[in-house]
Amino acid sequence: MIRSVLAGFAAILSLAGPAAAQTVLYRNATLIDGTGSPGRPGMSVLVDGERIKDVQPNDRLPAPAGARVVDLTGKYLLPGLIDSHEHLATPPNRVQAEASLRRDLYGGVTAIRDMADDLRSVAELTRASRKGEIAAPDVYYAALMAGPSFFADPRTIAVSYGFTPGKTPWMQSIDETTDLREAVTLARGTSATAIKIYANLPADLVKKIAAEAHRQGLRVWAHTAVYPATPAEVIAARPDVMSHACSLGHQVLGTPQTYQSRTPMDPAPFLKADNPVVALLLTQMKDQGTMLDATTSIYAHIEAEAAKNPKARKPLCTGAMSDALTLQAWKAGVEVSTGTDWVAPYTDPWPTLHHELAALVKLGMPPAQVIRAATLNGARAAGQADDLGSIQVGKLANLIVVAKDPTADIANLKTLEFTVKRGREYRRADFKPLTKAEMDDE
């Protein structure tokens, strides 16, 4: 009996992945700290357990007794990357979610924002990642609020199995009769980081939801248009982050009454020069510190997929329109984070985030600023800048090591040698993607 119990414990421990965090000195790397500052050669970082204990020039930081020393001469040390817009459980599929998360972590992504799903599933993935039972980034997630008419969307049925859509703590239908204090309290009970204000809500309710969420200590993550609430009305509610640069265009072209309309927008007013109406929105966003989760790569992806099917519905935005609005936002000084909102095919060995990074460089952001968007800005978007996003004493030891300079070419992030998450190392050479049969497993 004792042997069988011990065998059971051994089996559980075998799932925990790499060895627990320890004291490690990463020495003599070029440090790209996530702030956008130039790389600093000859730097060393001391990790003690889950956190960074010291950051110094190599000659000022000798190895403490008993520390493991990792020589990074000629290599580049950066903060772990952050994808600020993923969906892990719409609908829930544990095999696929873990496969995506494992690809993220072994590809350099150490944290993500999950932008509302079936939080019963997401919460368990969050716990398992935090405990080290699965190879995955840390997850910070939102509970969703939308108008009653949104809950005819079939996705809401998939994420509310066993309950009436709109009547769960993680996905709530809101109207003028809702007790918002109770609604936000229920959302807090899911351990969510934020309320996501999604769709089919008028401006007054968007403002009231945001105010109550902030009062109760939650972040507010909103779409740039909430239908019928316009981008200007969403900005006036003072969310912490707004998702989808594309939908800023509604302020110029009109905002439909419901999310379901999905009327394609004319890109012409945004392509030849900065749009003056959008410029006013961006000034307000910058002044009040509202960030933009641009998700620009998804529109080129949707456009490419639609081109394969002549009968497919035209996308809301073209890739060029989304890129133009994203670039205008960045030039205006709005902090941009790197969210994806789509999942690259299982045959792609790298996280979807790399598509977003490449898209941002292509539209005109320098690689160093794209790295900032994917590190420090991502941490701020998730409300975790005290712990994540830059290489500083006291922050979590979330690091990546690459062989070539990513500020010279963002594609050099794919020379990744290993990822460190909370002090545990995950070597790129150990990454094994799932097969198609495993990805199709329900």
CATH assignment of the domain containing 32 = 2.30.40.10
Per-residue model confidence (pLDDT) at position 238: 98
Strands 76-79, 23-31: pairing is: parallel
- pLDDT value of position 440: 73
Contact assessment for residue 61 and residue 371, using Cβ atoms and an 8 Å cutoff: no
Please state, in angstroms and as integers, the Cα–Cα distance from residue 142 to each residue in 69, 120, 223, 306, following that order. 39, 12, 13, 29
Domain end call among 381, 402, 419: 381
Provide the phi-psi class of 132: left if phi over 0, else alpha when psi is between -120 and 50, else beta: left
Parallel, antiparallel or unpaired: strands 399-402 and 416-421: antiparallel
pLDDT score for 20: 61
Confidence of residue 435 (pLDDT cuts 50, 70, 90): confident
Token readout for 212 is 């109550």
- Looking at residue 11, what is its pLDDT? 41
Q: Is residue 343 part of a domain?
A: yes
Q: Is the pLDDT of residue 192 over 90?
A: yes
153-167, 192-206, 428-442: least confidently modelled range: 428-442
pLDDT category of residue 18 using cuts at 50, 70 and 90 = low
Q: Give the separation between CA 212 and CA 194, rounded to whole angstroms.
A: 12
From 343, 359, 381, give the residue that closes a domain: 381
> What predicted TM-score, i.e. pTM, was given to this entire model?
0.94
Is the pLDDT at 16 greater than 70, yes or no?
A: no
Q: Is residue 12 part of a domain?
A: no
Instruction: Count up the domains in the chain and report the number.
Output: 2
Query: What CATH number is associated with residue 307?
Result: 3.20.20.140
Across 99-115, average pLDDT: 98
236 with 281, same domain?
yes
User: Is it true that the peptide bond before 202 is cis, omega within 30 degrees of 0?
Assistant: no
The per-residue pLDDT for 308 is: 87
Q: Does residue 310 share a domain with residue 213?
A: yes
Question: 180 and 91, same structural domain?
Answer: yes
Q: What is the pLDDT of residue 82?
A: 98
136 occurs within a structural domain = yes
Q: What is the pLDDT of residue 6?
A: 39
Q: What residues contact residue 4 under an 8 Å CB cut-off, 6+ apart?
A: none
- Quote the CA–CA distance of 257 and 259 in Å, as a whole number: 7
State pLDDT tens for residues 327-353.
999 999 999 999 999 999 999 999 999
The reply to whether 440 falls in a domain is: no
| 216 and 119 share one domain | yes
The total number of residues written for the chain in this structure: 442
By residue range, what is the domain housing residue 154?
81-381
CA 310, 351, 406, 394: dihedral to nearest 10 degrees? 140
Residue 438 falls within a domain, yes or no? no
Tokens at residue 378, please? 């991502």
Across residues 212-220, what is the average pLDDT?
98
| Same domain, residue pair 185 and 308 | yes
221 and 325 co-located in one domain: yes
245 close to 295: Cβ distance less than 8 angstroms = yes
Q: Which residue has the tokens 């990454």?
A: 431
For the ranges 8-22, 77-91, 392-406, the lowest mean pLDDT is seen at 8-22
- How confident is the model over 236-276, as pLDDT tens digits? 999 999 999 999 999 999 999 999 988 899 999 999 999 99
First CA to last CA distance, the chain? 35
Residue 2 in domain = no
Work out the angle between the directed axes of helices 276-288 and 319-331 (0-180°, nearest 10). 50
Q: Are 99 and 179 members of one domain?
A: yes
10 found inside a domain: no
One domain, residues 25 and 154: no
pLDDT over 90 (residue 309): no
Distance in angstroms (rounded) separating the CA atoms of residues 225 and 265:
13
Is there a single domain that holds both residue 71 and residue 28? yes
Given this model, what pLDDT does residue 305 score? 87
Q: Do 276 and 345 belong to one domain?
A: yes
Q: How confident is the model at residue 188 (pLDDT cuts 50, 70, 90)?
A: very high
Which residues have C-beta within 8 Å of that of residue 336, sequence separation ≥ 6?
291, 292, 293, 294, 326, 329, 330, 360, 365, 373, 377
Average pLDDT over the chain reads 94
Shared-domain flag, residues 175 and 324: yes
Instruction: Judge if 255 and 404 occupy the same domain.
Output: no
* Residue 437 confidence (pLDDT): 72
11 within domain boundaries: no
Alpha-carbon torsion, ordered 311, 356, 335, 136, to 10 deg: 110
